[in-house]
Chains A and B, each alone.
Chain A
Amino acid sequence: MNRTKIALSLTAALAFIPMVSSAGTLENVIKKGELNCGVSTGIPGFSATNSKGVWEGIDVDFCKAIASAVLGNADKVKYIPLTAKERFTALQSGEIDVLVRSSTWTSSRDTSLGLNFAGVNYYDGQGFLINKKLGISSAKELDGATFCIQAGTTTELNLTDYFKSQKMEYKAVTYDTSGQTIDGFKKGRCDAVTSDASQLYGLRLKMDDPNSVMVLPEIISKEPLGPVVRQGDDDWFNIVRWTLFAALEAEELGITTANVDAQMKSDNPSVKRLLGTSGDAGASLGLDAKWAYTMIKQVGNYGEMFDRNVGKDSPLNIDRGLNKLWNQGGLMYPMPIR
């Protein structure tokens, strides 16, 4: 089984390699000429393969952003699909260089797994998907319901918290992958699916008749999703973190894939520092001066990633809500590049 394999390889990696220093992910990636990026086994809008077998999604775009900043080519990514249960072990064992798999940033994950969250690329919250036949309109009416959940998620824990606080009862049927979870729901094994709200919209589209189900209005938790790296490799951590900030900064400055070439001639000092026509942001990160230019040229700014994968230009059509930039009422706030 895959999980056991990863655990064994972790044991082997840790047992046989004599005191490896955990630094050097950047050198490794450059040497391989490829970024090993851990993604999901299929969450529409975040990381999933399309009908041609090509990986797509906002998380996939972030993998591409890192690859273009580091290697200068957004296609030099090897996508490694992982279930929720396997993801952190795969990162610990060094099988992947970065994990971009809608993972919630929590204190225990940040402190006890030997991992660090490099930022937040999607602010999410947990919601409920129900069959309209149940005839309810609020999560408060879910007393006694059975839920299909994916194993190894914060979802499992939030559900307990919510039902305890509401003094209601529930039953949970726990599956391995999101595919099995929605399958159980389709076949009527459970009354509702609970997961991050963004995923529920994707799962809804997978139903035979998307209009027979609905997402309840309640959001019961905070789910800041972000990229994760191994603890102790600060150089690599900085690269991942600032790639995210650069994508946000580009949106704030109005730099897009289409106009980035024209922007190279801009006089705006912020634009010049971001695109590397002045300052040494790239060199300090150990990257090319044009790292952000390459990324924007090949992948786009944060807003473009959002719109084409989960936002208004995608079938999911999710409102940007909390994921708007800070100056438009959202929570996305890039630290200044200078």
Chain B
Amino acid sequence: MSNPPSAPTNSVSFFNNPKNRAIIFQVFALGLVVFLAYYFANNMFANIEARGIETGFSFLDQVAGFGISQTLVEYDDGSSTYSRVFLVGILNTLLVSGIAIFFTTILGLLIGIGRLSSNFLIAKLSMVYVETFRNIPILLQILFWYNVVLAALPSPRQSLSYFGEYFLNNRGFLMPKPILEDNSGYILAAFIIACIGVYFLARWAIKRHDDTGEEFPIFSVGGAIIILAPVLVYFIAGQPISSEVPELKGFNFKGGWVIIPELLALAFALSIYTATYIAEAVRAGIESVPKGQKEAANSLGLKEHVILRKVILPQALRVIIPPVINQYLNLVKNSSLATAIGYPEIVTLFSGTTLNQVGQAIEIILMTMAVYLLFSIVISLLLNWVNAKMEIKGR
């Protein structure tokens, strides 16, 4: 009686096993990539060294010593360092991107809805708008609006003045700067309390709507509370906010807050341009909602704007959000074209002026690229999260 043949063991040799092979090849490929990266980096630094070019990031602690036309954080041109310049640039990019994203979203939504309007004039005007601004390069638009802004506005001495406290001239839009005195904390507190109150009011309104179907004018009431509460406290606390009105001294204005014309032109051009793409995304989204949805809502007797807000848009948003993410990303990247009109954002300030003063191209360009990468990743993550919330659940 011979032993039964043992179960066929894996007779394939180690190297012929497809699993092992795959791993070996991948390890090999990875090793090659790492080696090449190391080789190139090493070579680069050796060459830089050999040419006597300084390397490293110690320049960030040096005093920058040049003036910047718009700074959101404290910046002194005699003592602030290049790292502060970096921060100023990032904030200025964020500022113009934030403003432009806000306005382009509203404008894009309106135009997108307008293109589907049954009103002939609105629909055609929206179409002309989209076709015009979408087809002109953004750089030309930025230069155009900048020149329009500068050409249309008067010099400081002939400023257009509103209420004696707001001024518009070719140096920008000047407004009083609020100065907080004692007790002004109460106003902030009132504002926060009002916001929390409105949040709970909104939750109650939604619940009541779910239970009884009764509508509550949450937008007007909530808005009124948020605005009125701090105003009321302002007067009760004895008007603790005074203002520093810009004043014409010599040949320029001093004091107050100023919105520089570069910011106006850039934010305007970016909003106008990007809105065309957002409008098209909105239109596509709305058209993707089956006609029956609207007809059903109509037959229930809902009003037009209620249909749009509660039936069409929630479904359309699922289609709208992904392309809009792309447009937001494009907008942030397009803001670097500001270098053409001298708006002090990260590219102008850091990979422009700083690069030339310091001369360390590789470090500075890498840092600038990292900033844009970070912005893009954050925007993507944020909107992907919104998208996930909007998705159809449980189907």
Contacts and interface: CB of A to CB of B under 8 A. Distances in A.
A191 to B, nearest CB: 6
Interface in B236-256: 249-252, 254
A338 interface: no
A329 interface: no
Contacts of A176: 339-340, 342, 348, 352
Interface in A13-34: 14-22
Contacts of A10: 361-362
Contacts of B40: 15-16
A84 B151 CA distance: 27
B43 A171 contact: no
A157 B51 contact: no
Interface residues of B, number: 50
Interface in A146-182: 146-147, 151-153, 156-157, 159-161, 164, 170-176, 180
Contacts of B53: 92, 112-114
A141 to B, nearest CB: 8
Given A152-B357, A173-B69, A17 B47 contact: yes
Interface string B15-33: 0000000000000000000
Interface in B188-220: none
Interface stretch (B60-68, B160-168, B320-328): B60-68
B355 interface: yes
A189 B353 CA distance: 20
Interface in B333-380: 339-342, 344, 348, 351-353, 355-359, 361-362, 365
B78 interface: yes
Contacts of B51: 22, 92, 114, 230-232
A19 B351 contact: no
Nearest to B359: A113
Contacts, number: 164
A143 interface: yes
A16 B78 contact: no
A188 interface: yes
A232 B262 contact: no
A166 to B, nearest CB: 12
A80 interface: no
Nearest to B260: A173
A11 interface: yes
Contacts of B352: 3, 85, 151-152, 176
Nearest to A156: B66
A19 B43 contact: yes
Contacts of B344: 174
A20 B339 CA distance: 34
A89 interface: yes
A174 B252 contact: no
Given A19-B46, A109-B359, A144 B254 contact: yes
Given A7-B365, A15-B40, A232-B50, A145 B251 contact: yes
Nearest 10 A/B pairs, CB to CB = A152-B356, A172-B67, A114-B53, A156-B66, A15-B40, A15-B44, A187-B150, A113-B359, A114-B51, A7-B361
Interface of A: 1, 3-4, 6-8, 10-11, 14-22, 84-85, 87-89, 92, 108-109, 112-114, 134, 143-147, 151-153, 156-157, 159-161, 164, 170-176, 180, 184, 187-189, 191, 230-232
Given A6-B361, A92-B53, 9 more contacts: A3-B351, A21-B50, A22-B51, A92-B359, A108-B357, A157-B65, A171-B67, A174-B348, A184-B150
16 contacts: A1-B339, A7-B355, A7-B361, A18-B43, A19-B50, A20-B47, A22-B51, A114-B51, A114-B53, A145-B250, A156-B357, A172-B68, A175-B342, A180-B342, A191-B251, A232-B51
